[in-house]
Amino acid sequence: MNGSRRELRCAEEGCSLVEAMVALSILSIVLAGSLGSFTLTEEGIAAGAKSMAMTALVENKIEALRAIPYESLLSPDLNGEGKTDMVFQETGSGLFQGQQTVEGVLVTSTVILDHPMLSRSGAATIKVAAEWNDPRGRHRTVRFGLRRANPVYTGVTP
């Protein structure tokens, strides 16, 4: 009877407090390390979402500049309200640039003409860029560009 009682007591003892504390310490170290990766993942997802939104913004701007009549390229009414959305300033011979801030993001549109006068240029290069700083302070840029022909250009200069 004494032997059976000893077996029962050993089976019911379980683990000691020291063993439980060691296991808890190891578990907390592993969980603390994985929480850091959750933060990095969240920042990465937020940065990707911002880049995607800025890509859509730049794509919309360049498509709007592509769709308006060629003669309105330097004074665009992109939303059809009857007023100029962006003022382009000549920064060089045939180089025009306009800037605006949208939701804290600097959007720069550039039109480079083949000839200093819009009516005499055979084509224009249009570039649109969005610039912002991510939450870590790194500078980010999205750029799109296209080449657009003047539909009424004949090659003859008066």
Residue 62 to residue 144: CA distance in whole angstroms: 7
Whether the per-residue pLDDT at 10 is higher than 60: the answer is no
- Least confident range of 7-21, 34-48, 85-99, 100-114: 7-21
pLDDT tens digit string along 53-108?
999 999 999 998 898 889 888 887 766 676 777 888 998 888 999 998 988 899 99
pTM as predicted: 0.73
Of 158 and 106, the one with more pLDDT: 106
pLDDT confidence of residue 128: 96
* Residue type (1 letter), 59: E
